[in-house]
Amino acid sequence: MSSAAPLPPMAPGALPLVGHSLAYRGDPLSFLLSLAARGPLVGMRLGPIDAYLLREPDDIERVLVTEHRRFWKDRMTRGLGRVLGDGLLTSEGDIWLRHRRLLAPAFHRERIAAYGNDMALAAERFALSLQPREVRDLHRDMMRLTLNIVAKALFDSDVDDRAADVARAINFVTDRFGDGLITLYPWVERLPLPDHRRLRDAIATLDDVLLGIVRERRARPRGGSDLLSMLLAAEDDAGRGLSDREMRDELMTLFLAGHETTALALSFAFVLLGRNPDIEARLCAEIDAVLGQDLPTTDTLARLPYARAVVLETLRLYPPAYAIGREAIEDLTLCGYRIPRGTQLWMAQYVNHRDARYFPEPERFLPDRWLGGLERALPRFAYYPFGGGPRICIGNQFSLLEATIVLATILRRFRVRLLDSSPLALDPLITLRPRGPIVVAYEPAPPPERELLRPAVSPS
């Protein structure tokens, strides 16, 4: 690193002690967009830490891929270790590498494809349970549905009877860690405040559900193709499997990340379709033509290109993982600036996915943009809803498959009608969430489009 290189610029407007915290907390997404407009690497002061937003795809690739060994997860992400332990999201070094290798076979493309039937049957059960025109919270529905899918497909377990407890616990954990206060000021967690006791109770609830699944599965004979069976049987080169604590940490990571992010993507997709009836009509026509009376399968998805384009465009506009971070573990130079060891670097998918250089009319919902080979033409990190490099989300193919299958399954029977025309309010916490309920009614699909029979395989 050249000692003559300057430090990256800091955005104006920092206040004593709190820096840009007030402006950031007031509207995080707009603040990140304003940083990106100032240059390829611009900083913000958030209380006791400085963080720098990296904008250009080539520079992001350098951090996440070509020079990834010079970085580890940022301070905010490492703070999630108090919930996730040493799971794939938060661990580093040899621990991360060992766990990644043990988990990788369960996420092989062929293994993921086998989960498609469980996904479709769970979505069909949900659709058959709906009362036409009943007023409901879309996000809550999608959270419960994807919770059941991840429990069945990954753990071969049914947690529907604990779904409400799990939802409350996840919401509370997300809220407490999403505002960054505990991460920026860890000593706050030691104060005898009611919310801190509730946080411990929420984590205990999640532990109880997951460890209950593990105990139940350990009591069964060995075998099975779900993730938990594979983890119980997996051994590294030294013949060691995962300890109970390691198992808990990985299951907690997959359980939380594996259902909330897809639930968010589905919620946003239905909102976008509800506000763009022409796109919804085109998608439903494709689903009708390809599926007829059948449930979608992994094999039929290749004949649903518009459904996939709708999912990709939803992830562009509303990526559930809206930003990721790294910390430099050695001195280096980036974008012509001096980056000292310990510097926090942020990369925001929400920002990059709205770059008009790569996405004309970036605020418009235009699934057609993905039908002409755009994925191959884009710079590698102009679009990266699942991150990238060695630390790319291990469940990315599972999530894409699940979102497309659930979307197609529900639209065979229902249209999701928004009952609130106000702009969608967002809460960028750990993930990008809707602020408050998304109030909808499920309207039966028009009779001329289908006369559906029950699926050949009973969803019960």
**281: CB partners within 8 A, 6+ apart:** none
Which amino acid does the sequence have at 260? E
Tokens for 56, please give them: 């250009």
The CA-based angle 257-102-258, given to 5 degrees, is 10
- Binding site listing: 393
SS3 384: coil
Torsion of CA 224, 226, 227, 231, to 10 degrees: 0
Residue from 273, 265, 302, 292 nearest 139 by CA: 265
CB 199 within 8 A of CB 169: no
Residue from 251, 256, 208 nearest 229 by CA: 251
> What's the helix, strand, coil split of the chain in %, to 5?
55, 10, 35
Residue from 321, 281, 286, 282 nearest 432 by CA: 321
Tokens for 95, please give them: 């621990």
- Binding site listing for heme: 393
Separation CA 224–CA 233 (nearest Å): 10
Specify the pairing of strand 49-54 against strand 426-428.
unpaired
